[in-house]
Amino acid sequence: MSTKDWTIRIRLEEQGDDTFADAILDIENKTEIRGSGHSKRNPSDESAPQIGDELACARALSDLAHQLLAKAATDIESRTHVPATSLQL
């Protein structure tokens, strides 16, 4: 059995009412894919920084997942010469 470690690092940055997140997927100690997310607090809402962090992080992870699926589809198509849209991913 083979074991591989893929690591996702989350970097959060707050700028006023905005929170920005980067989700960085490291595969075998090299950066492979980076997703990004953003949240903005409505000025009429009370300050709850954790909620902004959660939203920005979730959006960054979602972006990362979509990019990883697109990469897998491209890799499948290059090997099979069959459009990935006709395959179940």
6-80 CATH pick, 3.40.50.1390, 3.30.160.240, 3.40.50.300, 3.90.400.10: 3.30.160.240
**pLDDT tens figures, 53-68:** 999 999 999 999 999 9
* % of the chain residues with pLDDT over 90: 64
**Dihedral sign from CA coordinates of 45, 51, 57, 62:** negative
- State the distance between the two ends of the chain, measured CA to CA, in whole angstroms: 24
Residue 89 has pLDDT above 80, yes or no: no
* % of the chain residues with pLDDT over 70: 96
Average pLDDT for residues 27-38, to the nearest whole number? 90
User: Any idea where the domains of the chain sit in the sequence?
Assistant: 6-80
Confidence of residue 83 (pLDDT cuts 50, 70, 90): confident
